A and B are shown apart, each in its own frame.
Chain A
Amino acid sequence: MEFLQQGINGLSLGFVYALIAIGYTMVYGIIGLINFAHGEIFMVGAYFGLFAAITLRLPFIPTLLVAMGGAAIVGVIIEKIAYKPLRKSPKLSILITAIGMSVLLQNLVRLKMSSDPQSYPDTLLPQKIINFAGLSIDNRQIIIILISIILVVLLQFIVFKTKTGKAMRAASFDKDAAALMGINVNSIISITFAIGSALAGAAGVLVGILYSSIDPYMGTMPGLKAFVAAVLGGIGIIPGALFGGIIMGLVETFSKVYISSSYSDAIAFSILIVILIVKPSGLLGKKTREKV
């Protein structure tokens, strides 16, 4: 019973990681960059949601939308001013820039909003414990899982059934060829960032609701863990990010309960290290060779 209970905890956490991981994987797939600042976008989304819920007093869905929109805008701005100019630069430069961006965002928010944790209002999504088959299920967890599934399905629709999605897939295979086919690669890259950031923003709101408090540093750990999830599933592969996220959520929850709470972070990183050494292309990934 306890096991199933924790299973649900793990699943809802896992879907949150999945939403963030998808953003990582989409960006990596198209420009080969690990957007270090992605975890911070998740955090920014949470703050946008806070603003919407408290200052604008919006109900749940509009709050979510505001957060997603705000996060998307921030993501696209970052791409345009920091990453785009470095597209032809060595990988090292972009990586360092992304790291800098991450620290910058964290501290900009800290400065503006104070480093003290702030709370999401209970009224946004009232908690109801559902007793079902001996389990006490938090309705919010179910909603998180449902919303995540809806967003992922929406994403799949966009990627596979729309012209834009086709362009995104083409660009992720070969940017130059896509450009030659008339695709505006710059727009596609911006759209990719926008979608990835929107999903992370949604995750931010969902986490804010579930754990009630948010702070400027909340993005670091989930960001890193979501990155591990993306690599675990196969970097660049969207279903892989979903898969990886869920596994990470379950592993973290179960290791907190059955092994040790303080080592759960170390365990998450160990997974990363093992995967990178054993099968760097991830569970769903394919081995690629460099052309000499």
Chain B
Amino acid sequence: MTLLKANNLTIKFGGLTAVSDFSLSLSQQDLVGLIGPNGAGKTTIFNMLTGVYAPTSGTIEFNGDFIQGIKPYEITKKRIARTFQNIRLFKNLTVLDNVKISFDYNVKYNLLHSIFRLPKFNKEEAEIEEKALKILKVFNLHGKRDELACNLPYGEQRRLEIARALAAEPKLLLLDEPAAGMNPQETHELMELINWIRDEFKIAILLIEHDMKLVMGVCESIIVVDYGKVIAQGTPDEIKNNPKVIEAYLGEEVADA
């Protein structure tokens, strides 16, 4: 059953066409990688899928709804969550609060309940706290729950961002360069984490990455973009040997993967 269908997405910024004719089809629990040289338009594609940019033309279907051009917070309500290339945590909030935020868009109590601390408030806050702590335990961040997000080491910050995205209970998770800045050991752990997330939470994952080891090792299917256009699509083996891809940028890295 198709979860996400992007049809011929094109976006122009002034005279520059950043992405042209991008199409993609994702089913539940797919694990797809989006790769390409720097500036190829990968994050721009993510931004279109998450409502940050509205495509100049083309449509995006998610679970039967057309979602192109709707606001980012509405995209989250449709159950798509993402992480960012340059980590965007809520720096001065605690680890716990960072995760709790993902539950806030679904909260049923209103301002008056908060002001007067009515039972509805207390009950729901307790639930949120419980759910958030559970997720932190899963990601091994429970011990640091009262720590400010900005004080975490880099690797844990990335983990927290993923945890936060998962707390939003998405059906599709978009990861933007999750392995950036990680050493081989951390990358290996991340690979296991990604697989585990997909199996445990039963969600589809689309990720942008430059680390070929991770992409080839984890993704079932890979889309290659260059200059805003899809130049190849297929399994890791197919992509490894695709001359167009090799020409675009992989070079010797592929042989090592």
Contact = CB atoms under 8 A, between A and B. Distances in A.
A17 B84 CA distance: 44
B233 interface: no
7 contacts: A286-B14, A289-B13, A289-B53, A292-B43, A292-B47, A292-B52, A292-B84
Classify the interface of chain B: helix, strand, loop or mixed: loop
Interface in A204-223: none
The 5 A-B pairs at the shortest CB distance, nearest first, are namely: A292-B52, A292-B47, A289-B13, A292-B43, A292-B84
Contacts of A292: 43, 47, 52, 84
Nearest to B86: A292
Interface string B68-112: 000000000000000010000000000000000000000000000
Interface in A267-289: 286, 289
A286 B53 CA distance: 17
Interface of A: 286, 289, 292
A289 B16 CA distance: 13
Nearest to A290: B52
Nearest to A287: B14
Contacts of A286: 14
Interface in B12-49: 13-14, 43, 47
A200 B52 CA distance: 40
A237 B53 CA distance: 26
B177 to A, nearest CB: 13
A289 B47 CA distance: 12
A139 B49 CA distance: 63
Nearest to A286: B14
Nearest to A291: B43
B15 to A, nearest CB: 12
A292 B42 CA distance: 12
Contacts of A289: 13, 53
B24 to A, nearest CB: 19
B118 to A, nearest CB: 34
Contacts of B53: 289
Nearest to A289: B13
A268 B38 CA distance: 46
A69 B43 CA distance: 49
Nearest to B13: A289
A162 to B, nearest CB: 29
A160 B14 CA distance: 25
A88 to B, nearest CB: 16
A173 to B, nearest CB: 15
Nearest to B52: A292
A292 B43 CA distance: 8
A292 B84 CA distance: 8
A200 to B, nearest CB: 33
Contacts of B43: 292
A286 B52 CA distance: 19
A292 B46 CA distance: 10
A286 to B, nearest CB: 8
B19 to A, nearest CB: 14
A284 to B, nearest CB: 15
B53 to A, nearest CB: 8
B50 to A, nearest CB: 9
A286 B43 CA distance: 23
Interface string B173-200: 0000000000000000000000000000
Contacts of B52: 292
A289 B13 CA distance: 9
A187 B149 CA distance: 38
